[in-house]
Chains A and B, each alone.
Chain A
Amino acid sequence: MNSDPSFTSTARPESLLATALWRGMAFFLLWMLLMPSLKRGDLVVGVLASVGATWVSLRLLPPSSGCLRFGRLLALLPHFVWESVLAGVDVARRALLPGLPLRPGFVTCPLGFPPGFARNTFATITTLLPGSVAAGEVDGVMVYHCIDTSSPVVEQLWKEERLLARALVAGRHHG
């Protein structure tokens, strides 16, 4: 996670306030979705939880760390849903076949996304795709654990990277 605290001094205060308000409203909407109650006690807890979540999100994910283009990500949603269906079917098949066809191992996958928000989001999405679970970085290069190292995992990840580059905007580098 990009937790560089220096963002607060470099980000414009009005943009920080706007981001805080947007995120706060989004968190409160999520609360109302999960706890649809208009009782005063529930609303107070909801507001407190939203304020806390906004504060944590601004600390861990400052506005300058990058952003998502939600429209473009939504356009990619069918592709990722289909890929995660394939991932579930693939794992279920390997788990149930008598021969247990596994070739587990690590592969390194150099990525164009800089460390921080863009790379973290990519790692999280690709963890849901067939055969790969992100397992941190070595010397700035992403490492993936694969269920079958004989399959072209890195080529697949690079394909996903090209797709996701449309939706993920990398943040500014801090020095």
Chain B
Amino acid sequence: MKLFLDLWTVVAVVAGAFFFFAGTVGLLRFPDSLTRLHALSKADNLGLGLVVLGLLPQVDSVSAGLKLVGIWLLVLLSGATAAQWIARTFRQSGTDP
């Protein structure tokens, strides 16, 4: 059982790291700031979710697990909110800094 859980952790965290990598590649390759927002608001959220899912079997208490999930949800909420603000500001200013 322990081996299975450790394996799950390795697979999920590696998959999470892959999506962080892909999000960063998008950040570097995508042509403008608005498109880069897609890379950051979607790929990184999925990456963090997979890292959290992978770490869950390794925590020693339920509250630590809830804390991890809570952090993920807070990052989702703040990422989605900030992405909208940035997108609206770019659209209204018509510039692409």
Q: 1/0 per residue A129-143: CB within 8 Å of B?
A: 011011110000001
Please state if B31 and A106 are interface contacts (CB–CB under 8 Å).
Answer: no
A133 touches B37 (CB 8 A): yes
Q: CA of A21 to CA of B59 in the docked complex: distance in angstroms?
A: 32
Tell whether A47 is near chain B: CB-to-CB under 8 Å. no
Residues of chain B within 8 A of A128, CB atoms compared? 41-42, 45, 76, 80
- The reply to whether A88 and B45 form a contact with Cβ atoms under 8 Å apart is yes
Residues of B within 8 A of A36 (CB): 63, 67
Cβ–Cβ < 8 Å partners of A130 in chain B = 42
Tell me, rounded to whole Å, the shortest Cβ–Cβ distance linking B57 to chain A.
19
A to B contact number (C-beta, < 8 Å): 109
Kindly state the interface size class of chain B when it binds its partner.
35 or more
Chain A residues within 8 Å of chain B by Cβ, number? 33
Residues on B close to A: CB < 8 A?
18-19, 22-23, 25-26, 29-32, 34-35, 37-39, 41-43, 45-47, 49, 63, 66-67, 70-71, 76-77, 80-81, 83-84, 87-88, 90-92
Residue from B32, B43, B70 within 8 A of A33 (CB atoms):
B70
Given A102-B31, A133-B37, the answer on whether A92 and B87 have CB atoms closer than 8 Å is: no
B35 x A102 contact (CB < 8 A): yes
Contact of A33 with B46 in the complex, beta carbons under 8 Å: no
Known: A100-B29, A127-B84, A128-B76. A92 touches B19 (CB 8 A): yes
- Residues 75-116 (chain A) with a chain B CB within 8 angstroms: 84-85, 87-92, 94-96, 100, 102, 104, 106
A151 within 8 A of B: no
Given A130-B42, A135-B84, A145-B87 in contact, is the A88-B34 Cβ separation under 8 Å? no
